[in-house]
Structure 1
Amino acid sequence: MPAHIDIVAGGNPGDFTTVRHIRVAGTEREIGQALANAARDAHGAAAGPRRAPDRAVQRARRTWFAANHPILHERMQGVGTAFGVDPTDDAWDLAWLGTYELPAGCSTVFYPGVGVKDGHNLLARNFDFPTLSYSEIIGRAAGSAERPLSSAPWVVECHPDNGYSSITVGIMDVLGAMDGVNSAGLAVSLMADNESATPEPSIVAQVGLSEQQIIRYLLDTCATVDEAKQALLLAKQYYFFVPCHFLVADRSGRSFVWEYSPGHNREFIVEPSPDRPTVCTNHLLHRWPDGATLPDDPKLDGTAALTYHRYRTLSAAVDPGPLVDRDDIRDHFAAVRFTAPVPMARTFWHAVYDLDDSSLAVSFYLGDEDGVSRYTEPRRFALSG
């Protein structure tokens, strides 16, 4: 089935963002080829193919993917076809379709169905990100044609011939994602850990799964939180730019947060009390098991700013509390958005994933007008539709 691509938000003069939606079905190899063609059509040579900096590492990466993530390995074959390169050639890294991955601040809550008026299990998140280009983020002047990194989100809908279908939202890597849900009712969201001191980003690809690849790995291979725990415990993981933690939930109403120690040498599974909402922002929950002891936020500094304040605000809204509906959830997250006049950061989308019907309702940031941030009305995407 040919891929269907359309612009679902922005893209007009004066809009900061252009949001593309792609729906693709077929074999995993066909899906990889379609995503590569779409990324190249949208972003030109920046999408790839990308030279591998170390052939030995790239050979080990391909071997690891073949053994541990065969779905991505098959999609890489399709990427090679789209770009006209041999996928077995160690000169090419075909596991990444985009320009850069960068840290993202965020706020996320999983609402078990027992606390929601219609009984559905819902994962809601604000995706917060700098409004700058890559050059500006690393302290250089932006090039004349350089776009802000957050200006081109993708909604990617995959329907493989075998395995789980999924809907994801992300930026920079069309093969990866920042959050999503699959047809089994598993939802996953990442948030940067900006609390740990002295991070050690790899900057170049390593063997195993990077931040956005972890989202796709879980959605492609897991149906339940128990399966996701095992998959994460078994997988080799690293980070390009910043350590992240991940909120994982399923339609049974269970959830957990996957975290690493500051040295990335220990792994933690943080689970909420039964039937209680799970709140996660940009600090490590295993370090702060009692939210009442959180310190004050030191300053407003980037999208990880106010992580403790946002956590306290969301926790107060959901725990304890009455049954909530989607309007309540929208209000919860509106209270912790980054909007004008906050400098150099915005909440680029607010998403609510319905785990019971494997759907997404998402509104996107369009830009600022007269000192007010503009957002789209929520747009619904459903795997059954």
Structure 2
Amino acid sequence: MAIVKNEPVFEAGDNDYTKPRHIIVEGTNGEIGYDLGKLAREEYGTKLCAYDAPIYAQARREYLARNWPEMLEKSQGVLRAFGMPEDDVVYDGTTLPYDLYDSQRGASLGANTCSAAVLPHEKTDTGATYVSRNFDLMAMVLWSELLGKEPPQGAYSCWERGIVLETRPDKGYRTIQVGGHEVLWPWIDGINEKGLYVTAFHDPWGIGGETSPSGGMNVSGITLTQSFGYILSTCATVEEAKHLILRNHLMQVLINAHVMIADASGNATVFEIDQTTQAYVFVDRVANEPLFATNHPLHTYPEPSTYPEFDMEAEHGSFTRQIILRDAYAKLKPPFKREDVVAMLDQIHCAFIDDEKAEAGPKERTLINVNADLSKPEIAIRWYLGDVGPIEGTNKVKTRMSDFFTFGF
């Protein structure tokens, strides 16, 4: 058995929104794919994504054989778990989606979402790289309710069944990926045994198939969300990750995003795909300075003097959050501590009474908060448990979050 652990992260109450599980897998990539495929089919109700035509499956298999053979081995294990031949040309074995209903190609997510900050290691108390991020998304059934459809009976809401997946392959780095809606490569945060950290944020300027299935269709190369696992399993540094990205063909499905990558040495970058040219570009952290990411492309709007006109009353607006983070950073006095970066992200915690006024999505909440000290190959996570009620005199809602739980190697 490749699955050596599958347990609740904590004992969730009946009224707790999130009930995440900690899963550890080890073995060959084929064994890992097979056992995760069985788990996804039997416990999460996964149905494989279908390709539009056999040529996409055939070309994709050829691409993976050349560029990412470990994923090809995993996908072959997945197909076996579903009783299909390894060279099946109908179904996509590279993704194990769950709890995504009424997927629709090309609809717009229509919301601002996540945020993150990297503190300059040159000014921290131990010289370590400190990072923190908020994962914000709609606390509703995806994609049904977001698209105005009646969800299926018994449907699970966004991130309600979260996963922390630790993978210990016989080839490649050990990784921890945090997310939901995907058993094989949970998106949207991760760290590896070398202290390389990857996270992502919605990019409304991006071009792709938002709210679409996570694979199959006319997908070629690697989807952007799959690339997180690729980076973590093969790269130790930001520089290595950049080269890996530039050598590959990445497609946007599910959600259009830009990606933050940070390493133990203090290097950090945000990878973006230019809307006009589709060029792959990087915005690097400057020495002695922090790096912030929200939802606009940093290569287009790098700092406040380049921002378009926006309303600071819209508390969850992408440019507003950048200003809040910059103001919070300006008030800090070095040496910075790990708790400083967590406190910064708490200032832009997403939970509002009037979502439209805040420029948040409907029922949008900070569903997880993550922080890490990249000198240690570990990651700390807390989950959204529910609302407490409005905060008087503000447009904010007080929420219940779990304690932080730490996962590492």
Normalised by the length of structure 2, the TM-score is: 0.86
| Contact 1:106-1:281 at 8 Å conserved across structures | yes
Is residue 130 from structure 1 mapped to residue 134 from structure 2 by the alignment?
no
| Counterpart residue identity of residue 401, structure 2 | Y
Is residue 180 from structure 1 mapped to residue 193 from structure 2 by the alignment?
no
| Contact 1:206-1:238 at 8 Å conserved across structures | yes
Is residue 284 from structure 1 mapped to residue 297 from structure 2 by the alignment?
yes
Q: Hey, what does 2:345 align to over in structure 1?
A: 333
1:276-315 Cα shifts (integer Å, max 9, x gaps): 22111100101112234423545999xx941111111112
Q: Any residues of structure 2 matched to 1:1-385 within 5 Å, and which?
A: 2-9=3-10, 11-44=12-45, 47-99=46-98, 100=100, 105-133=113-141, 134-176=143-185, 177-195=187-205, 199-201=207-209, 203=212, 204-263=217-276, 265-297=278-310, 305-318=316-329, 321=332, 322-341=334-353, 342=355, 343-371=362-390, 372-383=398-409
Q: Which runs of 5+ in 1 are unaligned?
A: none
| Contact 1:363-1:379 at 8 Å conserved across structures | yes
Secondary structure, counterpart of 1:350 in structure 2? strand
| Contact 2:3-2:32 at 8 Å conserved across structures | no
Shift of 1:248: 0.9
Identify which range, 261-270 or 70-79, moves more after superposition.
Answer: 261-270
| Contact 1:297-1:305 at 8 Å conserved across structures | no
| Counterpart residue identity of residue 21, structure 2 | R
| Contact 1:181-1:353 at 8 Å conserved across structures | no
Normalised by the length of structure 1, the TM-score is: 0.91
Secondary structure, counterpart of 2:84 in structure 1? coil
CA distance in 2, matches of 1:253, 1:143: 46
Shift of 1:105: 1.8
CA distance in 2, matches of 1:294, 1:7: 43
Identify which range, 286-295 or 232-241, moves more after superposition.
Answer: 286-295
1:46-101 Cα shifts (integer Å, max 9, x gaps): x1333333211111111111211112111112212322211211112111111348
CA distance in 2, matches of 1:210, 1:123: 25
Secondary structure, counterpart of 1:105 in structure 2? coil
Secondary structure, counterpart of 2:145 in structure 1? helix
Secondary structure, counterpart of 1:86 in structure 2? coil
| Aligned residue pairs, count | 377
CA distance in 2, matches of 1:52, 1:135: 22
| Counterpart residue identity of residue 146, structure 1 | A
| Counterpart residue identity of residue 376, structure 1 | S
Identify which range, 221-230 or 324-333, moves more after superposition.
Answer: 324-333
| Counterpart residue identity of residue 285, structure 1 | L
CA distance in 1, matches of 2:162, 2:312: 28
Secondary structure, counterpart of 1:188 in structure 2? strand
Distance 1:369 1:320, change over 3 A: closer
| Contact 1:299-1:305 at 8 Å conserved across structures | no
Distance 1:190 1:217, change over 3 A: same
Shift of 1:149: 2.5
1:299-358 Cα shifts (integer Å, max 9, x gaps): 999xx9411111111122235842222222221111101125355100011101232111
| Contact 1:23-1:158 at 8 Å conserved across structures | yes
| Counterpart residue identity of residue 360, structure 1 | I
Identify which range, 340-349 or 292-301, moves more after superposition.
Answer: 292-301
CA distance in 1, matches of 2:93, 2:376: 33
| Contact 1:10-1:19 at 8 Å conserved across structures | no
Distance 1:299 1:98, change over 3 A: farther
| Counterpart residue identity of residue 170, structure 1 | G
| Counterpart residue identity of residue 257, structure 1 | V
CA distance in 1, matches of 2:291, 2:145: 34
Distance 1:3 1:34, change over 3 A: farther
| Counterpart residue identity of residue 380, structure 1 | T
Shift of 1:116: 2.1
Q: Which runs of 5+ in 2 are unaligned?
A: 356-361, 391-397
| Counterpart residue identity of residue 344, structure 1 | K
